[in-house]
């Protein structure tokens, strides 16, 4: 009797090719070797002796560092929904770097709850519970979770960059307001911070646009 023919094994699907003009931009998974390397590159900060205080004197240094780093942060910083149609579709977006004074913390908290917790309607009040419960994602099997996963990664990039740019006292000062940006995984107790709100608080503390205006006024007065 002839031996049965070996089963036909289908070839493995070719990996999906990702098209990007800049390897520092776009989505990535820090759980992979490549993604871990990208995360380290994006969150590279300053040496301990050069880290910044959360003080007006360091505002322009912080602004320059942020402008240089912002292209790698993604749309979570540069394309924030701020106005919405009645059906919930975003009709206007803001850039946190350029328009931080025009964006409310409530708007950012609604975005954070959408990505980390449970989404709420624009007209609903922000949840009073603190820390906010962090929702579990399944990006490997649930396509709808993938975008939230990548937004969480990008928000964490911003948080880690801030932690490596600010000195210990400045970072601790931000954490005094952690009730504005803290989430907890109720199953494990792990704490997660939304880096976008942390950046917003840092920018409002530095207020670099006001510092620039005062400096320009000082120069004008000196030349009179």
- Can you give the pLDDT at residue 218? 46
Residue 197, C-beta contacts closer than 8 angstroms, at least 6 positions apart: 105, 108, 109, 112, 180, 181
44 domain-assigned: no
What's the domain range around 150? Answer: 53-223
Percent of the chain with pLDDT over 70: 81
Q: In this structure, are residues 40 and 51 in contact, taking their beta carbons and an 8 Å threshold? A: no
Q: Which of 139, 174, 181, 136 is nearest to 156 (CA)?
A: 181
Question: Total domain count for the chain?
Answer: 1
30 domain-assigned: no
Instruction: Report the distance separating Cα 170 and Cα 172, nearest Å.
Output: 5
Q: In this structure, are residues 195 and 162 in contact, taking their beta carbons and an 8 Å threshold? A: yes
170 domain-assigned: yes
User: Would you place residue 214 in the very low, low, confident or very high pLDDT band (cuts 50, 70, 90)?
Assistant: very low
- Tell me the whole-structure pTM to 2 decimals: 0.83
User: Would you place residue 209 in the very low, low, confident or very high pLDDT band (cuts 50, 70, 90)?
Assistant: confident
193 domain-assigned: yes
16 domain-assigned: no
Per-residue pLDDT tens digits for 69-100: 988 887 888 888 888 888 778 888 989 988 89
3 domain-assigned: no
Per-residue pLDDT tens digits for 5-61: 666 655 555 555 566 666 667 788 999 999 999 999 999 999 999 999 999 999 999
Q: In this structure, are residues 200 and 105 in contact, taking their beta carbons and an 8 Å threshold? A: yes
Instruction: Report the distance separating Cα 162 and Cα 164, nearest Å.
Output: 5
- Can you give the pLDDT at residue 14? 52
């Amino acid at each position: 009797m002839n031996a049965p023919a070996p089963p036909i094994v289908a070839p493995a699907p070719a990996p999906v090719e990702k098209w990007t003009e800049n390897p520092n931009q776009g989505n990535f998974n820090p759980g992979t070797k490549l993604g871990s390397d990208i995360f380290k590159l994006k969150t590279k900060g300053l040496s301990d002796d050069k880290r910044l205080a959360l003080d007006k004197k360091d505002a322009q240094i912080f602004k320059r560092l942020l402008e240089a780093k912002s292209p790698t942060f993604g749309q979570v910083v540069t394309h924030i929904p701020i106005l919405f149609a009645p059906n919930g579709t975003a009709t206007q977006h803001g850039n946190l770097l350029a328009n931080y004074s025009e964006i409310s913390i409530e708007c950012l908290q609604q975005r954070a709850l959408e990505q980390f917790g449970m989404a709420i309607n624009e007209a609903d009040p922000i949840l009073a519970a603190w820390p906010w419960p962090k929702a579990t994602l399944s990006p490997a099997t649930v396509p709808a979770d993938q975008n939230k996963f990548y937004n969480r990664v990008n928000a964490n990039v911003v948080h880690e960059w801030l932690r490596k740019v600010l000195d210990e006292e400045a970072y601790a000062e931000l954490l005094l307001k952690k009730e504005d940006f803290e989430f907890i995984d109720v199953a494990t107790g792990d704490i997660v911070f939304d880096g976008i709100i942390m950046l917003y608080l840092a920018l409002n503390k530095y207020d670099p646009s006001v510092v620039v205006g005062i400096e320009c006024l000082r120069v004008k007065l000196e030349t009179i």
